[in-house]
Amino acid sequence: MQEHLDALEKHMQQLQQAMRHAQMQRDQGQLKELRAELRRVQRSYDALFDQGSDAAHDEEEPAAGRTQPPAVQMPAREQVHQVLTLLTVPAAPKLISSVHEALFAGSLPTTRLATLRRDEERSYHSAPGARPYYLCPALTSDHLSPARALLTISIWPLEDRIVGPLSARVHFLTSAVKFAEAVERLTPDPETMSLGTRQLLRHYALNIPGALAADLPQDHDAACDLSLLRQAAQQELAIHTDNDIAERRDAAQRARRQLDEAGQLFGAPFQTARRLSSVT
């Protein structure tokens, strides 16, 4: 939970800096949008902070006379949140499920994610800002409409929830780096890696030039060189990242001008998406 609070604090600082810049430029429209976004993030921060305080209070209560409840599986939305926080980029249900099963206890079938996005949007519209975070679709940079089968977290900066022409490759490379780092932290001994972990690492390595060691056994379940995988992914990221960021920032500025708070989270309505793509 602490890392989520840290992310919210960083985002609020970024918004405050952007507000000062907008005020200096006397851009009242931009200032209004940034202020609304800051209020939304502040509500998320307060809700998450209170949640953490309640949990700490419960831990302090005497255990005598209480029966420990049986362990229950984490709700699907929290499992998705856990994986997305690790990857730091929008991801499809299949990847989310694969990463979760490789690194965390329990399974996360993609069927459990089929209606999750719609449920999140309904929850938001019924009580905006009531939850610390929402699972939202990524937004396309051209139409600002929901990207198919890509999930993000509402507390991410708007720029990070938008996908452009280069984003698919950038996100693949970024998730490869983040997954390899997580594997190194959690299972530093290759001999203890799960089959799912080995298979996902090999999938990444096969699709990144230079990521697969020449002497790696042909066995598809053989463990990859984590250091080599990270290095190859980071080298290619250096080629694409700047252009991808520029595209997403331009789209985010347009989204802040054209969409309300709900639209910035869940995308432009279908009937207005094409019109918005042509407005600057």
Half-sphere exposure of 268 (CA within 13 A, CB side): 24
**Tokens, residue 118:** 């719609």
What backbone torsions phi and psi does residue 195 show, to the nearest 5 degrees? Answer: -60, -40
**What pLDDT shows up at residue 2?**
62
Give the count of beta carbons closer than 10 Å to the beta carbon of residue 42.
14
Q: Residue 272 pLDDT more than 60?
A: no
Band (pLDDT 50/70/90 cuts) for residue 53 is: low
H or E element at residue 149: strand 146-153
Supply the Cα-derived Rg of the chain in whole angstroms.
Answer: 21
**What pLDDT shows up at residue 220?**
56
Give per-residue pLDDT as tens, 243-261. Answer: 999 999 999 999 999 999 9
Give per-residue pLDDT as tens, 143-197. Answer: 999 998 999 999 999 999 999 999 999 999 999 999 999 998 888 777 788 888 9
Determine the distance from the C-alpha atom of residue 15 to the mean position of all C-alpha atoms in its chain, rounded to a whole number: 19
Residue range 12-36: average pLDDT? 75
Helix ranges (H only) for the chain are 2-24, 28-60, 76-87, 93-103, 116-126, 167-186, 195-206, 226-258, 261-266, 270-277
**What pLDDT shows up at residue 10?**
73
Give per-residue pLDDT as tens, 202-243. Answer: 999 999 999 987 765 555 566 688 999 999 999 999 999 999
Name residues whose C-beta falls within 8 Å of residue 193's C-beta, 6 or more positions apart in sequence: 183, 187, 201, 223
Name residues whose C-beta falls within 8 Å of residue 9's C-beta, 6 or more positions apart in sequence: 45
Band (pLDDT 50/70/90 cuts) for residue 59 is: very low
